Amino acid sequence: MRGGRVSRLGRNFAYTSGPVRILVTGGAGFIGSEYVRLLLGKPLGSAEGVPPLEPAAVTVLDLLTYSGNRANLAPVQNDPRLRFVQGDICDPALVDQVVAEHDVIVHFAAESHVDRSIAGAAPFVTTNVLGTQTLLDAALRHRTSRFVHVSTDEVYGSIDEGSWTETWPLAPNSPYSASKAGSDLLALAYHRTHGMDVVVTRCSNNYGPYQYPEKLIPLFVTNLLDGATVPLYGDGGNIRDWLHVHDHCRGIALVQQKGRAGEVYNIGGGTELTNKDLTGRLLQACDADWDRVVPVADRKGHDRRYSLDITKISQELGYAPSIDLDHGLADTVRWYRDNRTWWEPLKSAPTA
């Protein structure tokens, strides 16, 4: 046993809860940093409904590319259980060294912006596929007790009616979502081939504080707060399900502790809106009018609608979203209004 109450049976990897050492890849990013804050007791919302995590130690492995930010970890930076390692998940020697010291891996690190993947797919394939394979190989060597692979609903493609269950065929339409689908399949293959304790989560569109301002909600909010215009793709009729980042991390925590090895769990927010409807809510929240909205040509291969069925995680693990969209958006707008020192340098950086 290594670090916590961990058992291994034959060639299989079995996980039980307890004070374990957790490696969080991409833990300085938007979603990963909220997971670290949740682990260390300073999340954006209530941890109600999540079994006590109580990690013995948490290590963040992050390359600190344009969207990684040490400031995202400021609320927990003085916690003695936290360690930060700057490095690349594609670096086999570093990954091997770090993975050897941990019981559980929660894998967020990824290139994730669709528009950037359309402009150039290579970094997405390298990080999302090769990086995941590098982590999986290290986890296999060191018999990591649980590997939580965090993915996206975009791997399913687009759906006109109904909602995706976890058994829905994958049909990604962008280089980003294709690279994530590849990493999902790799992770599940390591479970089926090697008996590794791997679980995969697929989430709907996240929003909340600390989100890099290239994504829709922080881009619109920060532009509107600055008196600038906002771009609306096509007819604005694309539909997304919106999930507060804190609820997403609550779902991941339940999967980390109680999910079944080899399974996929959808994590959704339960609120579907067209991009035009969402734009209207953001305009109202920022005291702005529709004259600030500029229609732009639609994105290549733009998926029309995403919708996740969350019956499985709700029934098996007791998950339910706790932050409704009205309150979540209001809190998010307030956070960006009050934290200009966080986002203004990001928007003025060359990569923006």
Per-10-residue mean pLDDT for the chain, 352 residues long? 37 56 98 97 89 92 94 97 98 98 97 85 92 98 98 96 97 94 98 98 98 95 97 94 97 97 97 97 96 91 93 98 96 98 89 60
Instruction: Quote the pLDDT of residue 238.
Output: 95
Q: Which residue among 35, 156, 176, 210 is the active-site one?
A: 176
- pTM over the 0.85 mark: yes
CATH architecture of 7-204+245-267: 3-Layer(aba) Sandwich (3.40)
Rounded to the nearest 10 degrees, what angle do helices 92-99 and 132-141 cross at? 40
Question: Can you tell me the distance from the alpha carbon of 175 to that of 169, in angstroms, rounded to the nearest whole number?
Answer: 17
Q: Which residue among 34, 111, 153, 303 is the active-site one?
A: 153
User: Is 154 annotated in the active site?
Assistant: yes
Instruction: Quote the pLDDT of residue 301.
Output: 79
User: Is 153 annotated in the active site?
Assistant: yes
Rg of the chain over Cα atoms, rounded to whole angstroms, equals: 19
Q: Which residues pair with 106 in a beta bridge?
A: 24, 148
Q: Which residue among 111, 154, 197, 241 is the active-site one?
A: 154
Instruction: Quote the pLDDT of residue 256.
Output: 97
User: Is 207 annotated in the active site?
Assistant: no
**Residue 164 and residue 308 in contact, taking contact as beta carbons nearer than 8 Å:** yes
